[in-house]
Amino acid sequence: MAAEGFRGPRQLWNAFLWSMKGLRAGWRHEASFRLEVCLAVVVIPLGLWLGQGALEKIALALPAFLVLSAELLNSAIEAVVDKVSPEFHELAGRAKDMGSAAVFLLLVLLALCWALVLGPRWLG
């Protein structure tokens, strides 16, 4: 008998397929996600190329992955809120606004990391 909570190859494969399904849904249904993917396609390789050493590469590339993750979570929150409460409700609006704010803060983090890592190098 398998140990409790053991995830064999089939369960791992299914989890991978569900993740790919989620990425496809984000791409198909969320314009913000598509825009942020386009940003990430530029920023991640550029950050890996421009970064000097592992820590700089991480500081330049990681925030883009965090933005994409937060955008998917924000979209999930919006979908659930719209399903549960199709009419406007203050709490529903607050949940959507807070999800959007999380994405915004990570975009600010991305810009800050790029400015702190590359700014001194480029400005003098």
Feature table: binding site for a divalent metal cation: 30, 78
Q: Enter the DSSP assignment of 56.
A: H
Residue 43: which of 66, 64, 13, 14 has the closest Cα? 64
Q: Assess whether 71 carries a catalytic annotation.
A: yes
Q: Which of 4, 36, 56, 71 is catalytic?
A: 71
- 109, burial (CB in 10 Å: exposed 0-12, middle 13-18, buried 19+): middle
If one counts every other C-beta atom within 10 angstroms of the C-beta of residue 70, the result is 20
Instruction: Please enumerate, by residue number, every residue annotated as part of a binding site for ATP.
Output: 30, 78, 87-89, 96-97
CB 72 within 8 A of CB 33: yes
Instruction: Please enumerate, by residue number, every residue annotated as part of a binding site.
Output: 24-27, 30, 71, 78, 87-89, 96-97, 100
Catalytic positions, written as ranges:
71
